[in-house]
Structure 1
Amino acid sequence: MSSSSLSVEEKHDVFLSFRGEDTRNTFASYLYAALSANHILTFMDHELERGDEISPTLSRAIKESKISVIIFSENYASSTWCLDELVHILEYKKTKGLILIPIFYGIDPSVVRKQEGSYKVAFDSHEKCFKDRMEKVNQWRSALTEASHLCGLDSKDFRPENKLVQKIVEDISLKLSKYLSLDENIKGQLIGIEKHIKEIESLLSNSTKAVCIIGIWGMGGIGKTTLARYLFHNLSSSNNFEACCFLWNVREEYGRFGLDHLRRKLVSNLLNVEGTVKDTLGVASPFNLYRIRRKKVLVVLDDVDSSIQLDALIEGYRQLSCGSRIIVTTRNKQVLVKEADYIYKVGRLNHIESLKLFHLHAFSKNSTAVDDKMVLEVINYANDNPLALKVLSSFLCSRSKNDWESALKKLERFPNLEIQDVLRISYEGLDDKRIKGTFLDIACLFDSSFTRDHAESILDDGNSSIKIEISVLIEKCLIEDIGSHMYRNNELLYVHDLLHQMGRAIVRDEDKEPGNRSRLCDAMEICEVLENNTGTKAVEVISFNILDSYLSNKLRSFQWDLYPLKSLPSNFIPENLVELVLRGSHVEKLWNNRKIQNLPFLRRIDLSYSKFLSQLPDLSQAPNLESINLEGCTSLVQVLLSLQNLDKLTYLNLNGCSKLRDLQDISKRTEGCLDIVRFGGIKNVLNNFTYLKSCIQSFTGNLCLYSSQTHISQKFAPNLRYLILRGTAIETVPPSIGYLTGLVELDMEHCKRLKSLPTSICHLKSLETLYLCGCEKLKTFPEILEPMEHLIDIWLDYSGIKELPESIENIVSLRRLYMQHCGDLQFLPDNLCKLRNLKIIWLDNCSKFQKLPSLPSSLLELSLRYCERLKSLPEIPSQCLSLKAKGCTSLENISNLRAPLLHDLDIIRHRDFLDYIDFYGCEKLDQNTRNSMLADHAVIKILSRLIFVNTVCIFIFLSFAEMIDNFEQVD
Structure 2
Amino acid sequence: MNQQKSSTTCLIPITPEIIRWSYDVFLSFRGEDVRKTFVDHLYFALQQKGINTFKDDDKLEKGDSISPGLARAIGESRIALIIFSKNYANSSWCLYEVAKIMECKKVKKQIVIPIFYDVDTSTVRKQKSSFEEAFNKYEDCIKVQKWRGALEEAANLSGWDLPNTSNAHEAIVIKQIVEDIMARLCVQRHTKNAENLVGIESRMHKVYKMLGMGSGGVRFVGIFGMSGVGKTTLARVIYENIRSHFEGSCFLHEVRDRSAKQGVEHLQAILLSEILVMKDVNINNLYEGVNMQIQRLQHKKVLLVLDDVDHVDQLDALARKREWFGHGSRVIITTKDKHLLVEHEVEKIYRMTTLDEYESLQLFKLYAFKKNRLMDEFKNVSAQIIRHCDGLPLALKVLGSFLYGRDLDEWTSEVERLEQIPEDEIVKKLELSFNGLNRIEQKILLDIVCFFIGKKKESVTRILESFNFSPVTGIKVLMEKSLVTVSQGRILVHQLIQEMCWYIIRQEASDDPTRYSRLWLPDHISHVLTGDLGTEKIEGISLNLAFAQEVNVSSAAFTQMSRLRFLSIQNKNVHRGPDFLPGELRWFNWHAYPSRSLPVSFQGEKLVGLKLKDSRIIQLWQGSKVLGKLKYINLSESRKLVRTPDFSGTPNLERLVLEGCVNLVEIIFSVRDLRRLVLLNLKNCSNLKTLPKIIQLESLKVLILSGCLKLKKLSEIKEEMNRLSQVYLEGTGLRELPESIDNFSGVKLINLSNCKYLENLPSSIFKLKSLRTLDLSGCSRLEKLSDDLGRLDGLEELHCDDTAIRTMPSSISQLKNLKHLSLRGCKNALGLQGLSMVDDEFRICIPGSEVPDWFMYKNLGPSLSVKLPKNWYTNKFMGFALCVVFDSFKEPSCMNNAYLKKIPGFLVMFKLVRHDGKTGVFFKSIGSVGSEECPDSGHTLLAYTSFDNFWSMYEKHVCNPNDWIQIEVCETDANVAIKGWGMHLLYENDIINDELMIQNATSQYGKMGLFHVIFDGSKYVKRKRHGHKSFSRLPPDDEPAGYVNSFGETSNEDFDETLFGRGITGIVEAQQTVTISMPESTFNWMMRPSVLVLSM
TM-score (norm 1): 0.51
**1:845 pairs with 2:899:** no
Shift, 1:374, TM fit: 2.5
Q: Name the SS for the 1:529 alignment partner.
A: helix
For 1:509, give the aligned amino acid.
Q
The amino acid that maps onto 1:510 is: E
Determine which structure has greater relative contact order: mean sequence separation of CA pairs < 8 Å that are 6+ residues apart, divided by chain length.
Answer: 2
In the alignment, is the contact (CA less than 8 A) between 2:265 and 2:289 conserved in 1? no
AA in 2 matched with 1:518:
S
**2:217 counterpart of 1:231:** no
Task: Find out whether 1:148 has 2:207 as its counterpart.
Answer: no
Alignment map for 1:280-429 (pairs within 5 Å): 282-284=287-289, 289-337=294-342, 338-364=344-370, 369-370=376-377, 372-429=379-436
The letter for the 2-side match of 1:517 is Y
Match of 1:452 among 446, 449, 457: 457
Distance 1:571 1:443 in 2: 25
**Counterpart secondary structure, 2:544:** coil
- The letter for the 1-side match of 2:325 is L
Structure 1 counterpart SS, 2:309: coil
Residues 441-480 of structure 1 aligned to structure 2 (within 5 Å): 441-447=447-453, 449-461=454-466, 463=468, 465-480=470-485
Structure-2 change in CA distance of 1:209 and 1:544 (3 Å): farther
Q: Tell me, yes or no, if structure 1 residue 71 matches structure 2 residue 118.
A: no
Q: 1:71 to 1:670 in 2, by over 3 A?
A: farther
Query: What is the CA-CA distance between 1:315 and the residue it aligns to?
Result: 3.0
Match of 1:965 in 2: none
1:493 maps to a residue whose letter is: I
Using a 3 Å threshold, how does the CA distance of structure 1 residues 246 and 550 change in structure 2: closer, same or farther?
same
Structure 1 position 379, deviation (Å): 1.8
Q: 1:400 is matched by which residue type in structure 2?
A: D
Letter paired with 1:336? L
What displacement does 1:85 show? 8.3
What amino acid maps onto 2:340 in structure 1? V
Q: For residues 62 and 353 of structure 1, what CA distance do their matches in structure 2 show?
A: 34
Distance (whole Å) between structure 1 residues aligned to residue 163 and residue 285 of structure 2: 41
Give me the whole-angstrom Cα distance separating, in 2, the residues matched to 1:600 and 1:76: 107
Q: Could you tell me which amino acid in structure 2 is paired with residue 760 of structure 1?
A: Q
| Residue pair 2:613, 2:638 contacting (<8 A) in 1 also | no
- Matches of 2:170 and 2:613, distance apart in 1: 75
Distance 2:209 2:221 in 1: 12
Which residue does 1:857 correspond to in 2? none
Confirm or deny: 8 A CA contact 1:18 1:24 kept in the other structure. Answer: no
Task: Report the CA distance between 1:550 and its aligned residue.
Answer: 2.0
Alpha-carbon deviation of 1:664? 12
Deviations 1:787-843 (A, max 9, x none): xxxxxxxxx994699xxxxxxxxxxxxxxxxxxxxx99xxxxxxxxxxxxxxxxx99
Q: How does 1:354-753 map to 2 (within 5 A)?
A: 354-364=360-370, 369-370=376-377, 372-430=379-437, 432-447=438-453, 449-461=454-466, 463=468, 465-483=470-488, 485=489, 492-512=490-510, 513-546=512-545, 547-550=547-550, 578=611, 597-598=639-640, 620=662, 740-743=792-795
Q: SS where residue 213 of structure 1 aligns?
A: strand
Q: Give the Cα–Cα distance (whole angstroms) in 1 for the partners of residues 341 and 406 of structure 2.
A: 43
Shift of 1:14: 5.3
What displacement does 1:495 show?
A: 1.4
Structure with the higher fraction of residues in strand conformation: 2
Provide the rounded CA distance (Å) in 1 between the counterparts of 2:170 and 2:687.
Answer: 84
Secondary structure at 2:199 match in 1: coil
Work out whether residues 445 and 543 of structure 1, in 8 Å CA contact, stay in contact via their aligned partners in 2.
yes
- Which of 814, 829, 839 is 1:760 aligned to? 814
Indicate the residue corresponding to 1:118 in structure 2: none
- Give 1:243 deviation, angstroms: 0.6
User: What is the CA–CA distance in structure 2 between the aligned matches of 1:214 and 1:525, rounded to whole Å?
Assistant: 47
Larger Rg: 2
User: Structure 1 residues 496, 628: closer, same or farther in 2, change over 3 A?
Assistant: farther
Residue pair 2:223, 2:231 contacting (<8 A) in 1 also: yes
Q: How far apart, in 1, do the equivalents of 2:838 and 2:505 lie?
A: 50
Decide whether the 8 Å contact of 2:337 with 2:482 is kept in 1.
yes
Find the aligned partners of 1:223 and 1:559 in 2 and give their Cα distance: 39
Change in 2 beyond 3 A, CA 1:225/1:651? farther
Task: Assess, with a 3 A threshold, how the Cα gap between structure 1 residues 150 and 27 changes in structure 2: closer, same or farther.
Answer: closer
2:73 counterpart SS class: coil
Using the alignment, how far apart are the partners of 2:120 and 2:663 within structure 1?
93
User: What does 1:31-180 correspond to in 2, within 5 Å?
Assistant: 33-34=56-57, 40-41=73-74, 61=105, 64=108, 71=115, 73=117, 105=162, 109=166, 148=176, 150-151=178-179
CA RMSD, 1 decimal: 6.5
TM-aligned CA distance change 1:470 to 1:86, over 3 Å = farther
Q: Residue 227 of structure 1 aligns to which amino acid in structure 2?
A: L
Moved more, 403-412 or 36-45: 36-45
Contact 1:270/1:297 (CA < 8 Å) preserved in 2? yes
Aligned residue identity for 1:71: I
Contact 2:269 2:282 in 1 (8 A): yes
Partner of 1:271: 276
Q: Distance in 2 between matches of 1:367 and 1:113?
A: 56
Distance 1:528 1:16, change over 3 A: closer
Question: Is 1:519–1:539's contact at 8 Å kept on the other side of the alignment?
Answer: yes
CA contact (8 A) 2:365 2:374 kept: no
Q: Distance in 1 between matches of 2:518 and 2:1030?
A: 66
| In structure 2, C-alpha distance between the alignment counterparts of 1:370 and 1:503, rounded to whole Å | 33
Alignment pair present for 1:253 and 2:286: no
- TM (norm. structure 2) is 0.45
Kindly state the Cα deviation for residue 668 of structure 1 after the two structures are TM-superposed.
11
Contact preservation (8 Å) 1:59, 1:88: no
Q: Secondary structure of 2:455's match?
A: strand
Conservation of the 8 A alpha-carbon contact between 2:229 and 2:354:
yes
SS of residue matched to 1:544: strand
- 1:264 is matched by which residue type in structure 2? A
Q: Residue 114 and residue 230 in structure 1: after superposition, are their counterparts in 2 closer, same or farther (change >3 A)?
A: closer
Query: 2: distance between equivalents of 1:67 and 1:246?
Result: 29
Structure 1 counterpart SS, 2:468: coil
One-letter identity of the residue aligned with 1:199: K
TM-superposition CA deviations, 1:626-653 (whole Å, max 9, x none): 9999xxxxxxxxxx98978699999899
Alignment CA distance shift 1:597-1:465 (3 Å): closer
Q: Which runs of 5 or more structure 1 residues have no equivalent in the other structure?
A: 1-8, 90-101, 116-143, 154-167, 486-491, 561-569, 582-594, 603-616, 630-639, 654-662, 679-687, 699-712, 726-734, 747-756, 780-795, 802-822, 825-841, 850-868, 870-971
Change (3 A) 1:385 1:644: farther
What is the CA distance between 1:258 and its match in structure 2? 1.3
CA distance in 2, matches of 1:243, 1:518: 53
Alignment length (residue pairs): 613
Post-superposition CA distance 1:888-918 (Å, at most 9, x none): xxxxxxxxxxxxxxxxxxxxxxxxxxxxxxx
2:202 corresponding residue in structure 1: 195
Unaligned runs of 5+ in 2: 1-18, 44-53, 60-66, 90-97, 126-149, 556-565, 572-590, 598-609, 615-636, 645-658, 668-676, 695-699, 716-723, 729-736, 752-762, 776-786, 799-810, 820-836, 843-876, 881-945, 952-986, 989-1023, 1037-1096
For residue 413 of structure 1, give the secondary structure of its aligned residue in structure 2: coil
Deviation of 1:526 after TM superposition, in Å, equals 3.0
1:215-241 Cα distance to aligned partner (Å, 9 max, x none): 0011111111111111111111xx321
